[in-house]
């Protein structure tokens, strides 16, 4: 094949994949805006399969709206570190909040801060206020037991992102107690060294 | 410049133009989603509470909703709730459903999927085809099955799980039967808000969301001359609508798998 033929084929390949994913992204965005979240989720999943990496965050936000926080956390790829933007971080925080990962949620909401517009900043502040009321007192041992049990359960289900998130929460909650109740166990689970 | 290089330069221009337009489309999609996320951002309801029960997970809502009753083509399935946890209805995957006679037919308990299935029935069934409906389901896959009418026969449209039978219409043309496969994502459980106390399950009646059933376009069938008996409508005997539990989907993230049905 001469060079022109090669380039023509290359142009077809390069332009074939992108628009398909974009069409699904756009369809998902419209569905999301109209609160048709189940349809939006399908579109984002398809877009993800077609090679649109940002679709994971969009699917996560959609799962938050569908009140499926655990799947949302997995779609976001976990709760550590800052996300792509403040808006995504807000949705990640809501997923964490719904999953009772209050310390993780509070950390994400703190990162939203000034990076977002007034509406999201206001909502983040209100949510942090609510979380603050829960965190005003040290957790009882049973609460840490609960987080560790979630960690173990998710580990058994081969959902490492969730398992680590719950163990991380357990460890941070344990640090809020003077006796550091079950701290070492929680820390081991958070870094994935537990069997 | 040789002729082949002129072609090469032209092709490179095509590539640049194609990628440029694709980038613009992608940027527009991302901006649209960003705006949508901003518009739909809400603060979660309910006060937070630390889990403090000695038996972890005791109040996790492990109940899935009972399968909704199969609706008429205009009605979606009705989610039901019970137990302390919030029942979550699996959502069907209307996307990439089987196409029969140009319409989607996806079996799922999703309002839109049911509507699409109904539309597909109208399209695929021919003049005598009864409408099939998207059956309700719990996770797993289900299929909306419908049969096109044969020539000269009244053929009731069948629905899997047999919630109801619809008698066929007038005898006449032949319609193409089709099956639309849909896959449901697994329902998820939502933690109960008050761990530590055993609350009796309360049955909350599901709400039936009326769908909008767009009428399908009837394609006239081809009557078979001489072999068409008078049309007699076989009334279906609607059995009591009993929710048939589907096979619970496995817990865990299930990637929505488009299940294309057979194309006709």
Report how far apart, in Å, the C-alpha atoms of A166 and of each of A131, B7, B56, B192 are: 17, 59, 12, 17
Does the pLDDT value for residue B37 go beyond 50? Answer: yes
Q: Is the sign of the CA dihedral B38, B33, B112, A64 positive or negative?
A: negative
Ranges A67-76, A173-182, B84-93: which has the least confidence: B84-93
DSSP code string of B200-221: PP--B-----B---PPPPPPP-
Q: Is B182 helix (H, G, I), strand (E, B) or coil?
A: strand
Higher pLDDT, B210 or A69: A69
pLDDT band at B89 (very low <50, low <70, confident <90, very high): very low
Q: Which residues of B touch A147 (CB under 8 A)?
A: 51
Does the pLDDT value for residue B151 go beyond 60? Answer: no
Gap from A120 CA to chain B (nearest CA, Å): 7
ipTM score of the complex?
A: 0.84
Q: Which of B39, B189, B194 is nearest to A91 (CA)?
A: B39
pLDDT band at A96 (very low <50, low <70, confident <90, very high): very high
Ranges A129-138, A166-175, B61-70: which has the least confidence: B61-70
Which structural domains are found in chain A, ordered by start? 17-76 (1.25.40.10), 78-136 (no CATH), 141-190 (no CATH)
Q: Is B198 helix (H, G, I), strand (E, B) or coil?
A: coil
> pTM value?
0.51
- The whole-number pLDDT of residue A195 equals 59
pLDDT band at A42 (very low <50, low <70, confident <90, very high): very high
- The whole-number pLDDT of residue A191 equals 87
Nearest chain A residue to B18, by CA = A15
Higher pLDDT, A48 or B2: A48
How far apart CA B103 and CA B125 sit, in angstroms, is: 11
Q: Does B54 sit within 8 Å of A142, measured CB to CB?
A: yes
Taking the Cβ of residue B194 and every Cβ of chain A, the question of whether any pair is shorter than 8 Å is answered with: no
How far apart CA A59 and CA A73 sit, in angstroms, is: 10
Please check whether residue A94 is in contact with residue B45, taking contact to mean a CB–CB distance below 8 angstroms: no
Q: Which of B103, B105, B114 is nearest to B69 (CA)?
A: B114
Q: What is the mean pLDDT of residues B15-41?
A: 80
- The whole-number pLDDT of residue A53 equals 86
- The whole-number pLDDT of residue A161 equals 96
Does the pLDDT value for residue A176 go beyond 80? Answer: yes
Nearest chain B residue to A127, by CA = B43
CB-count burial class (<10 Å; 0-12, 13-18, 19+) for B220:
exposed
What is the share, in percent, of chain B residues with pLDDT greater than 70? 11
Q: What is the mean pLDDT of residues A60-66?
A: 97
pLDDT in tens, B110-128: 334 434 433 333 333 333 3
Does the pLDDT value for residue A133 go beyond 50? Answer: yes
Q: What is the mean pLDDT of residues B9-14?
A: 53
Does the pLDDT value for residue B264 go beyond 70? Answer: no
Which among A21, A32, A45 is the nearest to B36, CB-wise?
A32
Gap from A8 CA to chain B (nearest CA, Å): 5
Question: pLDDT averaged over chain A?
Answer: 90
Q: What is the mean pLDDT of residues A46-67?
A: 95
- The whole-number pLDDT of residue B243 equals 47
Q: What is the mean pLDDT of residues A109-138?
A: 92
Q: What is the mean pLDDT of residues A91-117?
A: 94
How far apart CA A21 and CA B27 sit, in angstroms, is: 12
Which among A29, A45, A91 is the nearest to B32, CB-wise?
A29
Q: Which residues of A touch B251 (CB under 8 A)?
A: 157
CB-count burial class (<10 Å; 0-12, 13-18, 19+) for B107:
buried
Gap from A98 CA to chain B (nearest CA, Å): 8
Gap from A129 CA to chain B (nearest CA, Å): 11
Q: What is the mean pLDDT of residues A57-76?
A: 97
How far apart CA A120 and CA A87 sit, in angstroms, is: 7
pLDDT band at A194 (very low <50, low <70, confident <90, very high): low
Q: Which residues of B touch A32 (CB under 8 A)?
A: 33, 36-37, 40
Q: What is the mean pLDDT of residues A27-38?
A: 97
pLDDT in tens, B189-201: 344 333 333 344 4
Which among B26, B34, B88 is the nearest to A18, CB-wise?
B26
Taking the Cβ of residue B140 and every Cβ of chain A, the question of whether any pair is shorter than 8 Å is answered with: no
Burial per residue of A91-115, b for 16 or more beta-carbon CB atoms within 10 angstroms, e otherwise: bbbbbbbbbbbbbbbbbbbebbeee
Does the pLDDT value for residue A186 go beyond 60? Answer: yes
Interface test with B, best of A19, A23, A42 (most B CBs within 10 A): A42
- The whole-number pLDDT of residue A126 equals 94
């Amino acid at each position: 094949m001469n060079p022109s033929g090669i380039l023509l084929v290359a142009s077809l390949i390069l332009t074939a994949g992108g628009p398909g994913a974009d069409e699904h992204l756009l369809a998902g965005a419209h569905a999301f805006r109209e609160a048709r979240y189940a349809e939006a989720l399908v579109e984002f999943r398809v877009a993800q399969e077609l090679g649109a990496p940002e679709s994971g965050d969009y699917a996560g936000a959609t799962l938050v709206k569908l009140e499926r926080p655990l799947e949302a956390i997995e779609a976001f790829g976990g709760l550590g570190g800052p996300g792509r933007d403040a808006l995504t971080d807000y949705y990640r925080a809501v997923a964490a909040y719904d999953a009772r990962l209050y310390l993780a949620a509070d950390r994400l909401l703190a990162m939203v801060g000034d990076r977002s517009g007034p509406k999201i900043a206001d909502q983040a502040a209100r949510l942090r206020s609510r979380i603050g009321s829960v965190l005003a007192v040290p957790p009882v041992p049973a609460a840490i037991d609960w987080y560790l049990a979630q960690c173990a359960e998710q580990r058994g289900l081969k959902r490492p992102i969730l398992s680590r998130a719950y163990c991380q929460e357990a460890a941070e909650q344990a640090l809020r107690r003077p006796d550091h109740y079950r701290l070492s166990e929680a820390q081991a689970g958070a870094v994935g060294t537990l069997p | 410049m040789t002729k082949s290089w002129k072609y090469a330069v032209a092709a490179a221009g095509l590539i640049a133009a194609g990628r440029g337009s694709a980038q613009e489309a992608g940027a527009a999609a991302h901006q649209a989603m960003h705006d949508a996320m901003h518009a739909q951002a809400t603060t979660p309801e309910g006060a937070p509470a630390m889990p403090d029960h000695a038996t972890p997970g005791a109040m996790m809502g492990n109940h899935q909703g009972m399968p909704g009753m199969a609706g008429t083509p205009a009605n979606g399935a009705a989610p039901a709730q019970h137990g302390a946890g919030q029942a979550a209805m699996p959502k069907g995957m209307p996307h990439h459903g089987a196409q029969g006679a140009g319409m989607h037919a996806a079996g799922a308990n999703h309002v839109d999927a049911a509507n699409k299935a109904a539309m597909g029935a109208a399209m695929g069934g021919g003049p005598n085809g009864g409408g099939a409906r998207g059956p309700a389901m719990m996770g797993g896959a289900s299929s909306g099955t419908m049969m096109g009418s044969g020539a000269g026969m009244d053929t009731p449209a069948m629905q899997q799980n047999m919630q109801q039978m619809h008698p066929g219409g007038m005898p006449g043309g032949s319609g193409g039967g089709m099956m639309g496969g849909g896959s449901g994502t697994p329902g998820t459980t939502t933690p109960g808000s008050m761990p530590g106390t055993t609350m009796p399950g309360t049955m909350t009646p599901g709400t039936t969301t009326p769908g909008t059933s767009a009428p399908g376009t009837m394609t006239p069938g081809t009557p078979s001359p001489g072999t068409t008996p008078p049309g007699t409508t076989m009334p279906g005997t609607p059995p009591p609508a009993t929710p048939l539990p589907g096979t619970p989907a496995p817990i865990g993230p299930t990637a929505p798998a488009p299940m294309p049905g057979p194309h006709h």
